[in-house]
Structure 1
Amino acid sequence: MVNKNLTEYYGSLSHLDNESWELYRSLELAKELTAGETLAKLGDEHPEIVALCADLGKPTRLIDFGNKYPDRFFNFGLAEKNMVTAAAGLATTGKIPFVATYASFLGLLCAEQIRTAVAYPNLKVRLIGTHTGIAMGYYGSSHHATEDISIVRSMANMTVISPCDGTSLADLIEESVKTYDGPIYFRVSRGREDSVYKNRNIKSKIGRANVLRDGNDIAIIACGVTVQWALEAAEILAAEGIQAKIIDMHTIKPIDVDCILQTAKEVGNIVTVEEHNIMGGLGSAVAEILMENGAHCKFKRHGLNDEYSIIGKPYYLYGYYKLDGKGIAEVAKKQL
């Protein structure tokens, strides 16, 4: 029975405050964590798919696959490193293992196993790190994942993907099963983000950025959960007569070089946005392309400025670090 005082403090269980992100009925709110249901749909056609979790099958929604295919679903408990190594072994037998846990445990804690057991032999293992960036809010730095992009993208053979919603994630997972080889690190948020692609007739393909809005005053290149707020920022800017081009750079490695260079040429002013340390993340990847190709373009990286996040509710933190629509618009205006 739910404590009455807690219910009064947090709000009605049937009408949760969107800004609280409390745990009650959290799975019902995590509608954009579509990995499990996508794999469940692909399971009959692809019997080689197996799924592995580390006591977090429900929060990552991988349990949606496990409920349909219990004999192909493995729970390793709190043994994430063993889980990744086992996935590598399964891949050598022709299976396609999908591994899911919080990004702080996967991209950071399991970095050695990813590098040595998965990336080095170039195995077809799909790693899904959920609850990325500062989405875990009040859990603090131990559960924040603001370094995982820089760690994993520096590993040879690795593909790094940060979808903005469940529709995009589903597209990219399906492609990864049917036509894409080598290891992949999927970086997804908590599942409570707004849907970006649900009402857009745009498919997400690995290695190809999606232009979600045209503009010629400034370009905002975002990934993951920040894409929805980049679009919100574009609306704020448009009200002030500033037209922003919004690009969803869901694939950070291999990055869409042509899109970056074309944007630099046509717009000439780029801001990258990520819920990640600006050291080594999306912004660094874009900067590398601009510099190596001699692009003439104003440029700014926006994210966590080489620091550990403070502790608080996620939406408060997004606002504090100017990663919400209002904050991104403010950063973009200063770049003009």
Structure 2
Amino acid sequence: MAQVLATRMAFGQELLEIARENQNFVVCNADTKTCGLEKFGKEFPEREFSFGIAEQNLVAGAAGLAACGNKVFLATFAVFASMRACEQVRTFVCYPRLNVTIIGTHAGLQVGGDGATHAAIEDIAIMRSFPNMTVVQPADAVAARALAHAAVDFNGPLYIRLHRNPVADLYSPPNYRFEWGKARMVVDNGADLTMIVSGILLKKAVDAADALEKEGIHARVLDMATIKPLDEEAVIRSARETGAIITIEDHTILGGLGSAVAETVAEHCPVPVRRIGIRDRFGESGDPELLYRAHGMDTASITAAARELAARKNSYR
């Protein structure tokens, strides 16, 4: 039986494997256990640079290495990459469009055990607001491994959002290939509504779609792994064909996936939209599953929201 991994560990392990064959990138680390890349320097001492707990210097150093022609990966907690080093990401990486991939780990409410201040629930909103920045988030370990390969060949500023805890795989390795800027249809039960998801809540959306199918409500589920640039074509198609959209994310509903989808729908094909996520609150301490339930992000709450949206959609007819 395959080991169940967090996306952060799957990505880090795969990048280590790639490094043994590909010598064309370096790694910058903070003094934190993020995704296994803290071991990179033991095997590749000349390709790893440690900056300690100094994230502003971490990003500035990575930018300097990239300005000298290096492909650079840097790893730290998402909350520190997006906020403590916000100016450095904006000015030193995005403005000159340098080849730096920022790996932001321990994102969302999964860090409830580490304390409320460590919950990065604003990071996507921050990163997607920067010109030249691409923002991606895999849903499981299979997707994370595929993303590691794609990221090595990527040029320009890139933010990869990864999660703390293990998650069951939805995808199978032989059949999965990461595609930049493309949504993936995971469930296609019909045309009553579309759920658009990014990250580890994808499994909860799939389970909700199965529950809805038993009630006679036919839902589609899209995995929007790339949040910027958004697959606007897939969003518009979903709006036209299903007439209602729910977005689901482990992030504030302000500025993240829900905002990106709502902006696209409002401009191109207005239909009812429901955003599921954290509603203008800070992160909290606690068991992640209990936090998901409290914020309406568990399977039962998603199912109920979809049921209500389907009824709301029908009332417009």
Give the TM-score taking structure 2 as reference length.
0.91
Shift in CA distance, 63/309, structure 1 to aligned 2, threshold 3 Å: closer
Name which of 273, 284, 288 aligns with 1:310: 284
Match of 2:84 among 89, 100, 109: 109
In structure 2, the residue matched to 1:36 is: 12
1:146 matched to 2:121: yes
- Rounded to whole Å, the distance in 1 between the matches of 2:277 and 2:92 is 31
SS of the counterpart of 1:273? Answer: strand
Query: Relative to structure 1, is the Cα distance of residues 41 and 335 closer, same or farther in structure 2, using a 3 angstrom cutoff?
Result: same
Change (3 A) 1:265 1:253: same
Corresponding position of 1:245: 220
Counterparts of 2:23 and 2:38, CA distance in 1: 17
- Residues 201-227 of structure 1, C-alpha deviations (whole Å, 9 max, x = no match): 232211011110103111100101111
Equivalences for 1:133-172 in 2 at 5 Å? 133-172=108-147
Say which of 255, 266, 275 aligns to 1:291.
Answer: 266
Aligned equivalents of 2:48, 2:12: Cα separation in 1: 11
- Among all aligned residue pairs of Structure 1 and Structure 2, give the percentage whose two residues are the same amino acid: 39
Partner of 2:163: 189
Is the partner of 1:274 in helix, strand or coil? strand
Are 2:146 and 2:177, in contact at CA under 8 Å, matched by a contact in 1? yes
User: Does the C-alpha gap of structure 1 residues 66 and 194 become closer, same or farther in structure 2, counting only changes over 3 Å?
Assistant: farther
Residue 313 of structure 2: aligned partner: none
Q: CA 1:227–1:75 in structure 2 vs 1: closer, same or farther (change >3 Å)?
A: same
Distance 2:84 2:253 in 1: 20
- Equivalent residue, structure 1, for 2:208: 233
* Aligned partner of residue 134 in structure 1, secondary structure: helix
**Structure 2: distance between partners of 1:63 and 1:197:** 27
Report if the CA contact (8 A) 2:62-2:72 is conserved: yes
Post-superposition CA distance 1:37-89 (Å, at most 9, x none): 22222224431211122112x34222354443233122221111111111101
2:73 and 2:278 map into 1 onto residues whose CA distance is 29
Any idea what SS the aligned residue of 2:139 has?
A: coil
Q: Distance in 2 between matches of 1:140 and 1:31?
A: 19
Quick check: 1:335 aligned with 2:309? Answer: yes
Report the CA distance between 1:173 and its aligned residue. Answer: 2.5
Residues 313, 305 of structure 1: alpha-carbon distance in 2 compared, 3 angstrom cutoff: same
Q: CA RMSD in A?
A: 1.7
1:109-152, Cα deviation, whole Å (9 max, x unpaired): 11111001100000010001111111110333310111111111
> Unaligned regions of 5+ residues in structure 2, if any?
311-317
Query: Going by fraction, where is helix more abundant, 1 or 2?
Result: 2
CA deviation after TM superposition for structure 1 residue 158, in Å: 0.3
Kept in 2: contact 1:158–1:184 (CA 8 A): yes
Residues matched between the structures, number: 306
Quick check: 1:270 aligned with 2:283? no
| Between 215-224 and 42-51, the greater mean CA deviation after superposition | 42-51
Q: Does the CA-based 8 Å contact 2:34-2:75 persist in structure 1?
A: no
- SS of corresponding position for 1:98: strand
Choose 68-77 or 123-132, whichever is displaced more. Answer: 68-77
Cα distance, 1:52–1:76 mapped onto 2, change above 3 Å: same
Q: Which residue of 2 aligns with 1:82?
A: 57
Number of the residue aligned with 1:54: 30
Provide the secondary structure at the position in 2 that maps to 1:151: helix
In 2 relative to 1, CA 259–64 (structure 1 residues): closer, same or farther, beyond 3 Å? Answer: farther
Unaligned runs of 5+ in 1: 1-27
Separation in 1, partners of 2:289, 2:49: 33
Alpha-carbon distance in structure 2 between the residues aligned to 1:256 and 1:307? 28
Write the letter of the residue equivalent to 1:250. A
Give SS of 1:275's match.
strand
Residue in 2 that maps onto 1:22? none
CA–CA distance in structure 1, aligned partners of residues 178 and 77 of structure 2: 23
SS state of the match for residue 127, structure 1? strand
Displacement of 1:170 in angstroms is: 2.1
Q: Which residue of the partner structure matches residue 254 of structure 2?
A: 279
Give 3-state SS (helix, strand or coil) of 2:121's partner.
Answer: coil
Q: Work out the CA distance in 2 between the residues paired with 1:59 and 1:29.
A: 17
Alpha carbons of 1:300 and 1:188: their partners in 2 closer, same or farther (altered >3 Å)?
Answer: same
